[in-house]
Amino acid sequence: MYVAVKGGEKAIDNAHRWLGEMRRGDRRVPQLETAQISEQMTLAVSRVMAEGSLYDAELAALAIKQARGDLIEAIFLIRAYRTTLPRFGYTSPIETARMRCRRRVSATFKDVPGGQILGPTFDYTHRLLDFKLLAESEDEQAEEAIPQDSADVPHVLGLLDRDGLIQKEHRTDEEPVDITREPLEMPASRAARLQVLARGDEGFILGLGYSTQRGYARNHAFVGELRIGLVDVEMEIPELGFAISLGVIEVTECETVNQFIGSKTEPPQFTRGYGLVLGQQERKSIAVALVDRALRWKELGEDFLGAAAQDEEFVLYHADNIQATGFVEHIKLPHYVDFQSELELVRMIRKDAEAAREKADD
């Protein structure tokens, strides 16, 4: 006799135990410490912090360890943890012009005030496997090159701004929406778009950014400036009447300069795209800036060319990898009730069709 599949609870427990064992791997190999991840897998940690939208390297490292290195799973762990945290308020906007830059490059000018800082980059490394890393030898120590003072490092695009060659960004005192506290509404504000992009899936944003370079909403872009470094986070405390420092975070900021031939409403000038992400996320910040620029077609009076990167609903509703992975993977859950319904429908339609054919044959 048929017995429905029972014992779901036991099956789940067993699966979880097995998962724990797989995570640990061969016990003759020392267990990975989270400090090793946060110190030596910093770019993975950056990605988990950025897309998890929680700046905490230790928790990100823990999540990466627990997720067996599956970064989307790690991001998910961080997101789920993040939502349970009480919210005390909003910080003041960070001042990226006062960033202690670890890296700062401009593709539009040979040199810029404050200087170009190459910083810790993979650029110009030859991508050859370094077999020395197989052995457990210590690397040579490089000199830390972060300027310790927080003197202003003006943005490169400010130079163009002074000459009126780049589109003016309108300053507003409007409170930006918080996409983690309010449902996304279409059409979305630029603040909402930039937030979605900042925590959007790196691969998705990268692909969209790439598509704008290949003719889908083509908008030739230069990296006006890319900077990575530390900024202070401050919060106004109304009771105190001044701002207190909450700490220091690392961010990556990219501003692109884009050609713009002018429209009915705007004179010929350069326009910009903007990307700001938590941690060291160079590739992501550039891609965000490209997509941001593509999404601005309406405000700049450009045409909608039907490109994916211009399509706000398409971009914003599909950028979140936690939403995407959940829904894509959920089709492995049982759907037999719906399937049964379709089965009955197909049988019925076939029966009708057969009956009609027989009748025609008669």
Does 330 participate in binding other proteins (rule CB under 8 A)?
Answer: yes
**Token couple for 229:** 């470094």
Residue type for position 345? L
Comparing CB distances to other proteins, the nearer of 198 and 231 is: 198
- Counting contacts by CB under 8 A, is residue 196 touching other proteins? no
Tokens of 280: 């060291």
Minimum distance from residue 299 beta carbon to other proteins (Å): 16
Q: Are the C-beta atoms of 280 and 46 separated by less than 8 Å?
A: yes
For residue 326, the minimal CB distance to other proteins (Å) is 3
Stretch that binds other proteins, among 153-161, 225-233, 299-307, 336-344 (CB under 8 A): 336-344
182 binds other proteins (CB under 8 A): yes
**What are 276's strand-pairing partners?**
253
Q: Per the omega criterion (within 30 degrees of 0), is the bond before 187 cis?
A: yes
- What span, in angstroms and rounded, lies between the C-alpha atoms of 336 and 346? 15
To other proteins, the closest distance from the beta carbon of 19 in angstroms equals: 14
Letters for 222-261 (x = contact with other proteins by CB under 8 A, - = none) are: ----------------------------------------
Report, in Å, the least distance between residue 11 CB and other proteins: 6
59 vs 322: CA distance, rounded Å: 18
Contact call for residues 310 and 295 (beta carbons, < 8 A): yes
Q: Give me the least distance between CB of 143 and other proteins, in Å please.
A: 41
Q: Please check whether residue 266 is in contact with residue 260, taking contact to mean a CB–CB distance below 8 angstroms.
A: yes
Rounded CA Rg of the chain? 26
Among 169, 340, 354, 357, binds other proteins (CB under 8 A): 340
Alpha helices, DSSP H, located in 199-245: 202-213
Residue 44 near residue 282, CB atoms below 8 Å: no
Q: Cα–Cα distance between 77 and 66 in angstroms, integer?
A: 9
What DSSP state is assigned to residue 229? E
β-partners of residue 245 are 234
CA–CA gap between residue 31 and residue 341 (Å, rounded): 50
CB of 321 to other proteins, least distance (A): 10
Rounded CA-CA distance 150/231 in Å is 9
Distance of closest approach, residue 228 Cβ to other proteins, in angstroms: 27
Q: DSSP class of residue 199?
A: T
- Output 253 or 312, the one with its CB closest to other proteins: 312
Between 2 and 41, how does the x/- string for binding to other proteins read (CB under 8 A)? x-xxxxxx-xx-----------------------------
165 near other proteins, rule: CB under 8 A: no
Residues 54-113 that bind other proteins (CB under 8 A): 76, 79-80, 82-84, 86-87
Structure tokens that stand for 302 in this block: 């450009």
- State the nearest-atom distance from the C-beta of 276 to other proteins, in Å: 22
Judged by CB under 8 A, the stretch of 120-128, 182-190, 249-257, 277-285 that binds other proteins is 182-190
352 near other proteins (CB under 8 A)? yes
Strand blocks (E) in the chain: 100-105, 221-237, 242-258, 271-278
Tell me which of 33, 58, 185, 299 binds other proteins, using CB under 8 A: 185
- The site for other proteins (CB under 8 A) is made up of 1-2, 4-9, 11-12, 76, 79-80, 82-84, 86-87, 180-187, 313, 317, 322-323, 325-330, 333-338, 340-345, 348-349, 352-353
